[in-house]
Structure 1
Amino acid sequence: MRIFVLGAGLMGKEVTRDLIRNPNVEQVVVGDLDISRAEQVCMQLQDNRLQAVYMDTADESNFINFIKDFDVVINATVYTLNKAVAKMAIQAGVHGVDLGGNVNDLAKEILALDQEAKQNGTTYITELGVAPGLTNILVGHGAKTFDELQSIHLRVGGIPKEPEPPLEYNQVYSMDGIIYQYEGKSTIYRNGQQQEIPTLSEVEDIYFERFGPLEAFHTAGGTSTLPYTFPTIKNLDYKTIRYPGHAKKIKLLSELHLLRDDYYVELDGQMIRPRDVLAKVLEPILDLGDKEDVVLVRVILEGIVAGETVSREYELLAEFDREHKVTAMARATAYSISVVAQMIGSGLIHQKGVFAPEQIVPGDVHIDEMAKRGVHIKEKSLINN
């Protein structure tokens, strides 16, 4: 199995670390626009199967020719490259996966490449982060156990183990992605009707083992491809988990237009976007640094089984890896996409086309593989009277 990892950032590094644990992986090539970052990953992980290369996805012909010899391409770069990389992988006849990016229209555009992927004999799976991604896999796994799936409720958060002011939050992925999910509308379903409701709204209390009270509130993008996969779903919502008071503080920033993507002001003869300034200001303030984080996931499914109303709940608590100094978010995300890439490379996933995770990833195998990596997912079922 030969795998090309595009992107030598935190996720790319941890994906690579996981891949080389598998003796059936013959080679892993790490490509980045900054080759020094790719070389550093290879140097730190110290394995003779690793190779670093300079790679610019803007040079389409070179990229397509280069990846033709690989079994799977793992796109661990920013979401803005997802569609371009998917198209090039499919054109090259190479299987691929990406981390998604909480952007619903982008997922639809990639799914629209399905026919071309079938014609080229390739498998491509998009939206393989934590949420969307791991959550979708759990939904797809649980959905098979219902005669009629009626409701999907997702609660997800990457938070510091110990909260600190001013926002009781530390950045565990891109600032652009964080701001995106806070601004705009959240797509939900209630009583079979699609609704667009404000982000940062309908704050609820939520508790996890060793963590609580916490709060959960609507954010953008988390439902991802689920409405397309389950078009008859009655209730569907996604909320982000944070420490209490976080939503109120972010809502103030939103009301001041500091999160808007389309809002510009003139300053000293130049048009600037306050959102860009805010991101630059927040990055050093919210930097996780050497602090520890946790990832909390709860997926609740409700529906009918043998005439009875049943609920199934999947819960994950991933923690910081102290031995390797790896964040919980990187572990939960990188391990998940690496597991799926290896399923494709080994032939376990063999259907051709473009898929959302819930449509194709075998959830039982995924749960077992994540447990082998120290990320445990608990399941419990209840019969509702």
Structure 2
Amino acid sequence: MKILILGSGLMGPAAAFNAMADRAVTQVILADLSQPQLEAGVKQLAGKPGSHKLGVVRLDLSNQETATQLMANFDAIIAALPREASVLAVQAALEAGKPLVDLTIPAEASLPELRRLAETSAALVILGCGLEPGLTELLARHLAEKLDRVDELHIKCGGIPVEPAPPLGYKIVFGGTQLPLREADAWVVENGMLTKTARYSGVETVTFPGVGACEAFTESFMPWLLDLPVLHHLRAGTQKTVRWPGYAAKATLLKELGLLSDTPIAVDGVQVRPKRLVDTLLYPHVKMNEGDQDLTVFRVEAIGELDGKPCRLQADMVDRYDTSQNFTSMARTTAFTGSIVARMITRGELTGRGLHHPERIITGPHFEQLLSELAILGINFEMTSHWL
């Protein structure tokens, strides 16, 4: 089994680590445009189980012919890339007819063209197959299917530093050098209707065992979840990001000041994108430094009716930085998930073609297998039920 991993940033090396440890895997290649990032990935993986299987290659995904030729030599591809590069990875995989697991989701504007390309490709491409999106939606479907009727679905998830520090109390653990801040409104389900609301609104206190009090604020409910038959009668749905208290107010201020806009403005004759400026100014304060550790918190709640009685089903997970292997919790929960799923495809356990979200493909025994493999890695979900 040969695995190609695109991207040697925050996620790629963790995906490689997980794949290398599989005895059925004979080769793992890290590909990236940046030679320094490739060297950093090799250094991070040196001496780890299966490191003799590791190789690297410089790859410019904008050269689609070269990318397609490279992908043709592998059994599965994992994309651990920024969204703008993810589009190119999916295009090349569709052309090569090779399965690809994307840890993120390409920009919405690119999806119609990708779906058109997928119509004539034999490739199975799973989009958004990490932590969030990914495990959040998988657990949402799992809980929903245990109820006789689902009225509400609430998802809360986030990666936070163990030790919050000014100015945001946050460290970047996913997405390269750009802060996960957006000015666009967010989707929620209210009174059975999908509607928009202000991002960073709906702030509530949420507590996790061993972590303490955090805040959760509105990001965006994944609209395609409503296509699942089990959620056709959903009355309320939210998807919230978890941070240390105070983050949402600061993000709201940046938004209200126009500093999250990607629209260029003229400053002394120079065109400047406010969001890019904010990313550049804040990056030194929010990058993970030597000694920094993170943790991931996760909660999915499905509320409805079971056996004629109101019931709430809940899935919780708290994961922490791996001090023995030096992987962030975000990399463990995101990249390990994608890596496991890629190998499930290669083994023929997950089949199909075209573009899919994971909750459409990874169901039943395959879902249980994924959770079992994550549990072996120390990533555990606690399932509870409560009569209301």
With normalisation by structure 2, the TM-score equals 0.91
Aligned residue identity for 1:359: R
Deviation at 1:308, TM superposition (A): 3.0
In the aligned structure 2, how far is the partner of 1:89 from the partner of 1:249?
40
Deviation at 1:37, TM superposition (A): 3.1
Deviation at 1:83, TM superposition (A): 2.6
1:236-315 superposed matches below 5 A: 236-262=237-263, 264-289=264-289, 290-315=291-316
Q: Which runs of 5+ in 2 are unaligned?
A: none
Deviation at 1:190, TM superposition (A): 1.2
User: Cα distance 1:236–1:95, how it changes in 2: closer, same or farther (>3 A)?
Assistant: same
Corresponding position of 1:343: 344
Deviation at 1:109, TM superposition (A): 5.9
Aligned residue identity for 1:227: L
Q: Please, which moves more after superposition, 200-209 or 227-236? A: 227-236
Aligned residue identity for 1:11: M
Q: Which runs of 5+ in 1 are unaligned?
A: none
Query: CA offsets, 1:168-198, max 9 Å, x none?
Result: 2222223535123xx2111011121111000
Corresponding position of 1:58: 62
In the aligned structure 2, how far is the partner of 1:104 from the partner of 1:295?
26
Which of 361, 370, 385 matches 1:381? 385
- Percent identity over the alignment is 29
User: Cα distance 1:355–1:101, how it changes in 2: closer, same or farther (>3 A)?
Assistant: closer
Corresponding position of 1:360: 361
1:114-193 superposed matches below 5 A: 114-117=118-121, 120=122, 122-174=123-175, 175-176=177-178, 178-180=180-182, 183-193=183-193
| 3-state SS, counterpart of residue 139 of structure 1 | helix
User: Cα distance 1:231–1:102, how it changes in 2: closer, same or farther (>3 A)?
Assistant: farther
| 3-state SS, counterpart of residue 303 of structure 1 | strand
In the aligned structure 2, how far is the partner of 1:255 from the partner of 1:190?
24
| 3-state SS, counterpart of residue 248 of structure 2 | helix
Any conservation in 2 of the 1:107–1:126 contact (CA below 8 Å)? no
In the aligned structure 2, how far is the partner of 1:39 from the partner of 1:218?
38
Corresponding position of 1:370: 374
Q: Please, which moves more after superposition, 345-354 or 199-208? A: 345-354
* TM-align CA RMSD: 2.1
Any conservation in 2 of the 1:17–1:45 contact (CA below 8 Å)? no
User: Cα distance 1:35–1:244, how it changes in 2: closer, same or farther (>3 A)?
Assistant: closer
User: Cα distance 1:107–1:296, how it changes in 2: closer, same or farther (>3 A)?
Assistant: farther
Corresponding position of 1:19: 19
In the aligned structure 2, how far is the partner of 1:250 from the partner of 1:108?
31
Aligned residue identity for 1:83: V
Query: CA offsets, 1:289-310, max 9 Å, x none?
Result: 1211111010111233333333
With normalisation by structure 1, the TM-score equals 0.91
Deviation at 1:269, TM superposition (A): 1.7
Deviation at 1:158, TM superposition (A): 0.8
Any conservation in 1 of the 2:156–2:240 contact (CA below 8 Å)? yes
User: Cα distance 1:30–1:224, how it changes in 2: closer, same or farther (>3 A)?
Assistant: farther
Deviation at 1:335, TM superposition (A): 0.9
In the aligned structure 2, how far is the partner of 1:268 from the partner of 1:61?
41
Any conservation in 2 of the 1:102–1:224 contact (CA below 8 Å)? no
Any conservation in 2 of the 1:140–1:359 contact (CA below 8 Å)? no
Which of 65, 89, 99 matches 2:93? 89
Deviation at 1:360, TM superposition (A): 1.1
Corresponding position of 2:226: 227
Any conservation in 1 of the 2:80–2:104 contact (CA below 8 Å)? no
